[in-house]
Amino acid sequence: MLRKFRVINFKGFEGPFELDLSNPNQYAFNQSSVVSGTINHALIYGKNGVGKSNLALAMFDIIEHLTDYNKNELDYTNYLNARSDLSAATFYYEFLIEEKQIVYEYRKTDYKTIEFESLKIDNVEVIAFDRTKYNSASVKLVGTEHLITKIDSKELSILKYVKNNTVLEANTTNKAFLAFFVFVEKMLYFRGLKDNNYLGFMNGVKFIEEEIIQQNNLDDFELFLNTAGIECNLVAKKEGKSQTIHVDFGDKTLPLELIASTGTDSLRLFYFWLQSIKQNGQVSFVFIDEFDAYYHHELSQMVVEKLKETNVQFILTTHNTSIMTNDLLRPDCYFIMYKDRIKSLPQLTRKELREAHNLEKMYKAGTFNEG
């Protein structure tokens, strides 16, 4: 699980900006939203322009140099903060994996160029490489004793190099190191808008409707839409070499893609990714930016409930205050983001928040404006 993330000098984040998921309150309700002392389900609110989308990009910067999965370099133009005099962006991640604390910190001067890396497992630094001072790395994992640690390429992560070029001895530390890579490789980011741009998890382009049909999920997708209040009867139609989904009106059928509303289109995209998220262990962490931009508030709540059922750790950004309710999550799962900080609702007020409180009403009344 991801417990803490901090970034400096990346895009709109000039000074240290930290999201802390490791400080939950002791609420007796909705306890499934906290796992091993870590917030498992989080919703982030904030005014336009505070950097919610950039926070997602910052958190998924790790995908570029540790995995071979999908990335979009165009999202990472204007990499460093324009106001800062620093020459590199710093990223800090704290995970709980295999019951061990794993801290990974690195600096990059641009999307691809790595200046510094450090990996600690239970407070012991097992890998370190400061390219500004040394031409070789320090690697202390058992099984790497004869590994050549001089790396000329500044685009090659020392962690990825170790993973791909060693046979590590079977011990708890090495097991945690490999499990860390599995977690990162299964991180998924996508936007809730009308596109299928994503980061991490896999490579290539899949056609949503064809994938739903090939996985024999058409009936389930129809049930999903009906549950969402979109009454329809779906059928598969072959057009050339591909298959598409049509809506059956009895005497004729029409392509779903041509008649779907923007909200239905967004639901189709969510359903496509949900199939992977539902598979136990397939996705480790999911971040959906503007997850409900086109949803009625009842649809927004349904989507959160669907994600909760998978028990995957997720972060969603939204402007929809109608789902800021203790019936869905709990106060420490709702975060308010400002340009220089992000805090949960309990951290933004001196009032004791209880299950019976109307969080949306309190939010609109300015209860959480202090920070």
Is the pLDDT at 371 greater than 60, yes or no? no
What is the model's pLDDT at position 293?
A: 83
pLDDT band at residue 207 using 50, 70 and 90 as cut-offs: confident
Find the range with the poorest average confidence among 53-67, 78-92, 104-118, 198-212.
198-212
Among candidate residues 277, 191, 267, the one with its CA nearest the CA of residue 223: 267
Among candidate residues 42, 68, 66, the one with its CA nearest the CA of residue 55: 42
CA distances from 282 to 100, 185, 202, 267, 286 (A): 21, 10, 11, 20, 11
Is the pLDDT at 150 greater than 90, yes or no? yes
Give the C-alpha separation, 371 to 359, whole Å. Answer: 16
Coil, strand, or helix at residue 199?
strand
Q: What is the pTM of this model?
A: 0.94
pLDDT band at residue 370 using 50, 70 and 90 as cut-offs: low
What single letter denotes the amino acid at residue 320?
A: N
* Tens-digit pLDDT profile for residues 153-163: 999 999 999 99
> Is residue 5 within 8 Å of residue 92, measured between CB atoms?
yes
pLDDT band at residue 294 using 50, 70 and 90 as cut-offs: confident
Give the C-alpha separation, 335 to 45, whole Å. Answer: 6
What is the model's pLDDT at position 127?
A: 98
What is the model's pLDDT at position 195?
A: 63
> Is residue 50 within 8 Å of residue 338, measured between CB atoms?
yes
Coil, strand, or helix at residue 96?
strand
* Tens-digit pLDDT profile for residues 225-278: 999 999 999 999 987 788 999 999 998 999 998 999 888 988 999 999 999 999
Fold assignment, 2-196+284-364: Rossmann fold (3.40.50)
The interaxial angle of helices 297-310 and 262-278, nearest 10 deg, is: 10
Among candidate residues 182, 183, 185, the one with its CA nearest the CA of residue 202: 185
Phi/psi of residue 156, nearest 5 degrees: -100, 120
**Percentage with pLDDT > 70 across the chain:** 98
pLDDT band at residue 369 using 50, 70 and 90 as cut-offs: confident
Is the pLDDT at 196 greater than 70, yes or no? no
Which residues contact residue 20 at a Cβ distance below 8 angstroms, ignoring those fewer than 6 apart? 3, 4
> Is residue 50 within 8 Å of residue 339, measured between CB atoms?
yes
Q: Where are the domains of the chain?
A: 2-196+284-364, 202-282
Q: Which two tokens stand for residue 21?
A: 């998921």
Work out whether strand 242-248 and strand 253-255 pair parallel, antiparallel, or are unpaired: antiparallel
- What is the residue-averaged pLDDT of the chain? 94
> Is residue 97 within 8 Å of residue 112, measured between CB atoms?
no
> Is residue 312 within 8 Å of residue 347, measured between CB atoms?
no
What is the model's pLDDT at position 15?
A: 92
Return the higher-pLDDT residue of 94 and 202: 94
**Percentage with pLDDT > 90 across the chain:** 87
* Tens-digit pLDDT profile for residues 304-331: 999 999 999 999 999 999 999 999 999 9
Which residues contact residue 309 at a Cβ distance below 8 angstroms, ignoring those fewer than 6 apart? 278
What is the model's pLDDT at position 146?
A: 94
Phi/psi of residue 265, nearest 5 degrees: -60, -40
Q: Which two tokens stand for residue 221?
A: 């997708």
